[in-house]
Amino acid sequence: VDVSGYYRSNEIALANFNGRWRAGFNLSNLGGKMQYDEGGQENFLPTNLKFGAGFDFILNEDNVLALTTEFNKLLVPTPRDFDGDGDVDSDDNAEYQNIGFLEGVFDSFNDAPDGFSEELKEFTWAFSAEYAYQDSFMIRTGLFNESEVKGSRKFFALGAGFKFKAAQIDLSYLFSTSQVRNPLENTLRFSLTFNLGEEFINN
């Protein structure tokens, strides 16, 4: 099951420009555990929580600057030493398997071995900025950060977009800023989007 929501405010008149707030969330892969092979143990689905907010600086009819921040967390419980003997063994794994999927979602917020400080490290964050001219040409940049003890994925991205009447082309280049090598670093991405429906205008 996936659950999501999105909010966008009306334009707000400010000193020298108009503005608009945006916010949203997405809860994905929410469901029971799955057995991937015959006779194998059941595993948690990669349930994921993503939420973020942004603000559009509507400088005039042709120029818009959008700033957005986003946070992400995997809602899967951490395998741990339930009996306190210093090892995560088969007995601990058996107890881990008894955790239901919904209980596991809530446990994922308070089960890190080093407590609250480690829980915060399980969140990744991203920040982006986009400048749009006449809603047809966009320049973008962004940062992505993951804790060094949780994977150390750290990226800086540059991109551009070109919007036509019925299609949009987007491209971006990803630079790694981490000391840990990642297969995604120094990659160029393209996407092509077609609009097959009617245009909906919402101010």
pLDDT, tens only, 34-48: 887 776 778 889 999
Mean pLDDT across 51-64:
96
Given a contact cutoff of 8 angstroms between Cβ atoms, the answer to whether 54 and 67 are in contact is yes
> Is the pLDDT at 203 greater than 60, yes or no?
no
Residues ≥6 apart with Cβ < 8 Å to 28: 2, 4, 47, 48, 50
Identify any residues that bridge with 162 across adjacent strands, giving them in sequence order: 137, 169
Q: How far apart are CA 191 and CA 171, in angstroms?
A: 6
**Residue 25 to residue 70: CA distance in whole angstroms:** 9
Which of 88-92, 111-115, 160-164 is modeled with the greatest confidence? 160-164
3-class state of residue 120 by DSSP: helix
In this prediction, residue 26 carries a pLDDT of 98
Is the per-residue pLDDT at 142 higher than 60? Answer: yes
Greater pLDDT, 113 or 53: 53
Mean pLDDT of 153-162: 96
Listed by start position, the domains of the chain span 1-126, 136-202
Contact 158, 141 (CB under 8 A): yes
Q: How far apart are CA 180 and CA 153, in angstroms?
A: 8
Identify the band that residue 21 occupies on the pLDDT scale cut at 50, 70 and 90. very high
Q: Distance between CA atoms of 88 and 142, rounded to whole angstroms?
A: 39
Greater confidence (43 vs 60) lies with 60
* C-alpha–C-alpha distance, residues 179 and 171, integer Å: 25
What is the C-alpha separation between 78 and 57, in angstroms, rounded? 41
